[in-house]
A and B are shown apart, each in its own frame.
Chain A
């Protein structure tokens, strides 16, 4: 409110006076300097013109479909995805009371837990290693981060072959006889392992960039004061990169909830329903069973879950994250 009223005052002044005002007010009001622009009709329309493509695209492919999904979730749809009968919240009631959905939900939460924590720890460990400034640093940085360049499809196929019971790498190296992807006790672990590997690269990049942003002097002065490695790690490094850690955890959780390619390729939700993540169940309902209504309702439930988790995280951020 304050800002707006001060703009109006300035606009009524002659141009030369505005210039003086602006310079005397300093940075806080520097946008007043574009008064000339915003005085003309063209200048007034310009920002909207610049935003037009973005707004159109978001309206068309984010807001419209999101509301449509909400709408479809409250009815019965035919095979072509058109709503034929409005039934209110019946789909939600059916889903929330079904055993299959409960199973999917539990699996999804386990999966998020199994992937987020290891990816964060490994990514952080790699970032600490890379921050040591050693020889061949560039080479190891590339090796640490290259998983982010690999698609979920490629990663899933390579790992499926590594998980092969007889000729796969794992059973041969560890001399085990585990059905990594065909044993329901192991399948979720195996898919989580692949997903963790896929996340490690991007986590490393973010955390490494975060570490590089910490002023060297800060750590050096702590060394002079006699602080050991771990003391420095917990009292300086961790608080300094807490915004990045927060961002990485947020990103990983959101990505884990939406993991699809690896499940589709490696296990197709199986064996049984042992890797039937929520997203895979949505895909199956929509494109195998032709139940767009049920799929839409599950999407909305997924959205609500992610939204609540995001809210909790941002609440936590206010307490636990230190912004300098």
Chain B
């Protein structure tokens, strides 16, 4: 009896704490449906009186949201696929091969996790500029096609895959690359999925690099586009928040789809020392 009562209290605590955490998002959603008059009153309105869509209309008229969304989508998807390919292939090599310089190369890659992005961002900006890749997808994508963290995470998982898998498949006539594609990658789904979601979200949310490398409006990503709304002269809070809701929908959708995967990937050995 007491146990049941405890469960109910705990459930309520969980929900209330959860709601407190997402207050900023509920707030943004609520204001995005308010008319300017409703926003600028004191004491403030917590909920909109009706579903006013003027703010959303205004966003669509002020900035090319669709273009920004497409740009962000192209960049994030390509970076995600690229990083997963390079990271898993590298992790595979480090776990399933013996070769000269293996330890050195691995340490050299892991050491890059110590380098703060500010230590390289200026030079990278100058490099991309000298390749005439400013304001291009290539310029936004290429520097992020691999990551030490990705290699490290996948390697930790591959270490738990029995070596006999490879021996058996080689005896069955698989080439090493076929083993990687057809056997190793499918069994690594949880960790690759978790990593993929993580990469996608962090690329989608990137701010400094796209800010530096793009200046043409048609090349900007959602994050830069959204801060353009804030600095635009209109300064309408309703419009800015409506813009944010529009760009949050894809990332939250992907997050909700992948949240379980994220936890599972991490419990499957990714961060165990």
Contact = CB atoms under 8 A, between A and B. Distances in A.
Interface of A: 7, 27, 30-31, 33-34, 36-38, 43-44, 46-48, 50-51, 53-55, 57-58, 60-66, 68-69, 72, 81, 126, 129-130, 132, 134-155, 157-162, 164, 166-167, 169, 172, 197, 200, 205-206, 208-210, 212-213, 243-244, 247, 254, 257-258, 260-261, 264-265, 279, 282-283, 286-287, 292, 295-296, 299-300, 302-303, 306-307, 310, 323
Contact of B118 (A60, A64, A279): A279
B204 interface: yes
Interface string B94-129: 001111001001001100101111111111101100
Interface of B: 7, 10-11, 13-15, 17-19, 21-25, 27-28, 31, 39-44, 86-87, 89-90, 92-93, 96-99, 102, 105, 108-109, 112, 114-124, 126-127, 142-143, 145-146, 148, 151, 163-164, 166-167, 170, 176, 201, 204-208, 212, 223-224, 226-227, 230, 237, 240-241, 244, 247-248, 251-252, 254-256, 259-260, 262-263, 266-267, 271-273
7 contacts: A58-B109, A64-B123, A68-B123, A151-B204, A151-B206, A206-B271, A286-B122
Contacts of A146: 21-22, 25, 252, 255
B271 A209 contact: yes
A213 B27 CA distance: 35
B123 A72 contact: yes
A44 B11 contact: no
A320 to B, nearest CB: 13
Given A46-B176, A209-B263, 11 more contacts: A38-B98, A54-B86, A65-B124, A66-B115, A134-B14, A138-B260, A150-B25, A151-B205, A151-B207, A197-B24, A299-B116
A147 B23 CA distance: 11
Contacts of B259: 141-142, 145
